[in-house]
Amino acid sequence: MGWTERKHQRLPMQSRVFIELEAAPVGSGEDATIAICKTLNVSSGGLMVALQHELPVEAFLQIGVEPPPSATGSDAFYLLGQVRWCKPSDDPDYPWLAGFSLQQAEKSDIQSWISLITAMEPDH
């Protein structure tokens, strides 16, 4: 997607992100499979992450984003994201890059996320 086609302004931000790759079977007592990665840029409608795993495009995944240091008093944001693209990276520590569009979902923190990102935008 070209810059002029983007709906939301991108902001550079590095935060730790937890992506649930595979949910634990209900009642199994097992842990979910979680990928730990980092954001490279964010917007009110999406984020780009660097990670160690290839992700399936179009998959809907649960995401936890730690707030940036400037967001004092904020807890992690729990969001639902759809993988829009995933491609190899040149970084050996994070060999994959992925773009997520954030979805409206019941019990997600999407409204708090939008408020945080809007407050961080330079024109606010």
Two tokens at 65? 């984003």
pLDDT of 124 > 60? The answer is no
- The region that residue 107 occupies, defined by phi over 0 for left and psi between -120 and 50 for alpha, beta otherwise, is left
pLDDT per position as a tens digit, 44-64: 999 999 999 999 999 999 999
Q: What is the pLDDT of residues 12-31, one digit of tens each?
A: 889 999 999 998 888 888 88
Contact (CB, 8 A) for 38 and 23: no
Domains of the chain as residue ranges with CATH: 3-120 (2.40.10.220)
Tokens of 23: 């949910």
- pTM as predicted: 0.85
pLDDT for 32-45, tens place per residue?
Answer: 899 999 999 999 99
Most confident segment among 56-60, 64-68, 105-109, 118-122 = 56-60
Q: Is the pLDDT of residue 1 over 90?
A: no
> 30 to each of 19, 21, 24, 26, 37, how far by Cα in Å?
17, 14, 6, 9, 22
